[in-house]
Structure 1
Amino acid sequence: MTADTTARGHQPEVVLVTGMSGAGKTTAARVLEDLDWYVVDNLPAQMIPALLELVGRAEGALPNVAIVTDIRGRGTPRTDLAAAVDEYLHQGIALRVLFLDAGDDMLVRRYESVRRPHPIQGEGTLLDGISAERAVLENLRHRADVVIDTSDLNVHELAREVRSAFAENGGDALRITVLSFGFKYGIPKDADHVADVRFLPNPHWIPHLRPFNGTDSEVADYVFQKPNASAFLDDYTRALATAVAGYVDEGRAFATVALGCTGGKHRSVAMSEELARRLRHATGVRVSVRHRDLGSE
């Protein structure tokens, strides 16, 4: 294996996001960013080689890179974009092209709704600009790896299409944080769901358990020896799974579920750990756990 081949083997995945102006490139870029891609927006075609060279030098620090560009390269011929793609493919770079398209009538309505001219219509009409852009991009559309027609898609449906094409294993971008807290220190301001677990007996009043916290098996065993602890989590997990399914459909990127007890050290911690485990199993989304007040006095 040559040094050049070895270097290419470590190249990150690169996707070029392009297509018709007004077809949804900004929405696609936001979805890729939520999927932990490094997104470079509005990059002129002639600057892409320099960026790819820097990406190669990062040695894996940027595992996935999305470059958003179109034919508006300032001061450059409009054929540069298609020619650049040809050059990268001939060099063996792992480059995929995502092309966003829409019907002319839909593009006209979108531009009229925001009262902006098409970027290359010049002194002509909106349709003149759209037709000129479509002609320039025709060959690039044919060689694209993924083409999404957004004519009949809202932003949430477009986000779902992009996630389906570029998320690992076809997964989604939603991330759930289960957060334990103590009511004595205040309810988390960024919580989407808040549950009060102070109905459970407090290990704080058990002398030999007081020095421990909810991550310790002694405390967790004490909390879950009461049947209502598991019964509560059974019902709460089912309710949250319904909400999570809706979040995924809406293209939401994150949500926070907060469980509180008095001090945020025992009951809420043990319950948060178990809730996170159940949510991972029930929904398949990424779930992390944070304990906000575990170190508080």
Structure 2
Amino acid sequence: MNHTIKAQSITLGYGGKVIIPKMDIVIDKPEIISIIGPNGSGKSTLLKALSRLLVPLAGCALLDGKDIYQLQPGQVAKIMAILPQTVHAPGDMTVCDLVAYGRMPYKKIFEKLASDDQECITAAMEATGIQQMLHRRLDSLSGGERQRAWLAMALAQEPRILLLDEPTTYLDIHHQLELMKLVRKLHQDMQITIIMVLHDLNHAARFSHRVIAVKDGLLFADGPVEEVFTVENLRALYGVETTIMTIDQGGSSHLVCFPHDSCLKKEDGCAPAVR
């Protein structure tokens, strides 16, 4: 079953300060979607609203046509899982215990895990490649291993929609690529919708089907990678000149961008310098 998530005339902010004055978005099929834009543009704010972590100032976030804030948390958690930018757990907790928390939406208070829960936990750890870390403490894991453990916890919820807020933050390039390839494999194997906030434009272009670009709290562009990932759009979004190329890799092709000059005079249309 496909699930639909919508931002409908949504206004978002913190402490009376409006970050997103009004926005409409519809996500209604299983694909990988990246939300891009400059710092402070409202990317993470939008993701929080879609995931029931931030109450809109006006408008609403809808999950399958129902106001997400009128649904019970357990109802939402059986459809949607989120991995925020910053997550915390006791360092002495084992990987297995962390992943087991993903089954909480399906359990009553103090109810023990059943065999089907254990199967979901095992499947989540196998999907993320951490089954050999079963009994390791979280404080013994590398950054990449820890990110996989948290991702496994989210997958143990059996979500149909997975939201990731800057999942490659603090990871080196090797672990960034491993995580992004894992995200793509999860989508392919499970046919779930994955919505990510990303700063790395090349990751967004390579691993996404759709890109949502946000600037100054407004929806700047929304569509397939080829339509959004253009020199003109990146110039308007970031004030930087880029060269965009198509490269072939692993039997498939994808776009990459190379930033090379800042636009210092926006009133001049950000024309590239002539040398």
- Relative to its length, the structure with more helix (as a share) is 1
Structure-2-length-normalised TM-score = 0.29
- Relative to its length, the structure with more strand (as a share) is 2
Structure-1-length-normalised TM-score = 0.28
